[in-house]
Structure 1
């Protein structure tokens, strides 16, 4: 069996420079060599895709990565893909990989909270675990991190530094078939956070420059009246709006009335994100726009009645 390792940078590929900052200096070849798989029946081919902090990954970068993964899985001699990635936007990339039809074969993403040269780094274990998951042939898109195997759909970084920094949110299964690959960069989506008393300034300013909006609302999907009025204008202008929540757990339900209430905005066409938080909701909305898929159907799954807490 042969796997492709696609290196995109991130902390797992960083070393500490003289001023104490972390810089991605470690190549994919070095990461592959650190696995120590010489003599293994499984070969690794390395693709040096990027050397970035993942907070800098644009939708255009993501489009190129999706194409790269599809090209690798289209090869008859490649049995799966391992992606080394920064943790800041790993959940967005994982969801995008889950949404599109990229071919058969497992896709596993991993990264690290500590740099490559840290004396007690977590990258080697995460990389080894990700490699073993690939060797198992488990189908799907997975985040392997801190000893956990997490579906790409609903993955979230819940802690800035703990070594088990990713969790699975209950977002439910989708009934939609994998989407045909289409460019996301042509459909920018903005995330705007609500807070008590927020006005419509940012919503109004975004309208000439965005294809869709995700509102990170309060509670189960609410915002103040002034911001709600701005969202109303966006909807009336034909800009799709998805409402998520800043609350860590639970689903978004558009239940309250009033100018900024979720129920009022839902009646005007806003869509609740369900269990998805703003980061993955942005990717889902961009994918819906890119493929002409109904936005409501993208978010129509129902999470199971399970309580999840970070641990």
Structure 2
């Protein structure tokens, strides 16, 4: 069987990190290893695919920016449109991997597999997890049907949907989880074994596109002591606001009163939740807001930004949240 052609875009992160000592798992510097070094460290890649690499950037993913997202989405689209590429792997730091994955899930329009991977231990660590994660990401991207599932994260031998996944542990290798939705499947015997498929719009079915610039949106975390003035300050200069609400997307009464005149002036408010699961849906008490469904606040922000790039109509934005 002819090997698939896999293109690897390297963005740095822990998988490209180095520490002075092999037992130092937290005091390392991310983004120190080049894409050529990453590929050379896993010669088994050649057994599964013809792999080509490109250094897109080499950063700690805590330094990821919206400008880099826009450039990355455009680059991934260019590579995906090439006839000589069958799948794409993106190496990335884990701190913001779920956000980058979801942004690409919405803005890259392809049926080809797009897989993000990284590591929780630097390349210099005892039992570094990066080499196996990279190998399994390439194996996954070589499976053509994976593209039907949208952008995925492959780490720790687990396949996660970009929409469902989030980082849940600061240091342990088994950090990515899909909350109540679960994972899509697992890597076994050199290929993905999948058990469910996302039904919301993504990649090849997405109508959203990466604009030249993302609209300004902020996230407000609700807590005891949050004041109306806090929210007004965060809302200054913004066209959208995501409320990480209490319970079913609730907020202090004073905050809600402060938001209403801002909404009348055009601010779009999305209600999400700080709970570890469940949906936020419409209730009469918060008429005029958009609800995030099961999206985490950080992903609701991304979808709101892309929606606002197309429309400022709240009903149309809610329809986008219902579809994606």
- Fold conserved (TM > 0.5)? yes
SS in 2 for 1:55: helix
Match of 1:174 in 2: 200
Q: Does the 8 Å CA contact 1:158/1:167 hold for their aligned counterparts? A: yes
Post-superposition shift, 1:203?
A: 2.0
Q: Does the 8 Å CA contact 1:274/1:301 hold for their aligned counterparts? A: no
Match of 1:97 in 2: 104
Q: TM-score, normalising length from structure 1?
A: 0.87
Post-superposition shift, 1:41?
A: 6.0
Q: Does the 8 Å CA contact 1:11/1:86 hold for their aligned counterparts? A: yes
Match of 1:253 in 2: 281
CA distance in 1: counterparts of 2:308 and 2:323, whole angstroms: 18
Post-superposition shift, 1:175?
A: 5.2
SS in 2 for 1:209: coil
Post-superposition shift, 1:239?
A: 1.1
User: Larger deviation: 146-155 or 33-42?
Assistant: 33-42
Aligned positions of 1:51-200 closer than 5 A: 51-137=58-144, 138-139=146-147, 140-169=150-179, 173-174=199-200, 177-183=205-211, 185-200=213-228
CA deviation vs aligned residue, 1:228-254 (integer Å, no higher than 9, x gap): 122223311211111111111111234
CA distance in 2: counterparts of 1:170 and 1:248, whole angstroms: 9
CA deviation vs aligned residue, 1:179-208 (integer Å, no higher than 9, x gap): 242326331211110112311223211333
Post-superposition shift, 1:23?
A: 3.3
Q: Does 1:282 align with 2:285?
A: no
Closer, same or farther: CA 230–135 of 1 in aligned 2, 3 Å = same
Q: Does the 8 Å CA contact 2:98/2:166 hold for their aligned counterparts? A: yes
Number of residues of Structure 1 aligned to a counterpart in Structure 2: 293
CA distance in 1: counterparts of 2:234 and 2:60, whole angstroms: 26
CA distance in 2: counterparts of 1:56 and 1:39, whole angstroms: 32
Give unmatched runs, 5+ long, in structure 1: 256-262, 303-311
CA deviation vs aligned residue, 1:233-287 (integer Å, no higher than 9, x gap): 33112111111111111112344xxxxxxx422x1x1111111111111111111
Q: Does the 8 Å CA contact 2:179/2:276 hold for their aligned counterparts? A: no
- Runs of 4 or more above 6 Å deviation: none
Q: Does the 8 Å CA contact 2:76/2:108 hold for their aligned counterparts? A: no
User: Larger deviation: 84-93 or 154-163?
Assistant: 154-163
Q: Does 1:36 align with 2:39?
A: no
User: Larger deviation: 2-11 or 286-295?
Assistant: 286-295
CA RMSD of aligned residues (A): 2.2
CA distance in 1: counterparts of 2:137 and 2:108, whole angstroms: 21
SS in 2 for 1:223: coil
CA distance in 1: counterparts of 2:89 and 2:243, whole angstroms: 32
Match of 2:189 in 1: none
CA distance in 1: counterparts of 2:208 and 2:221, whole angstroms: 31
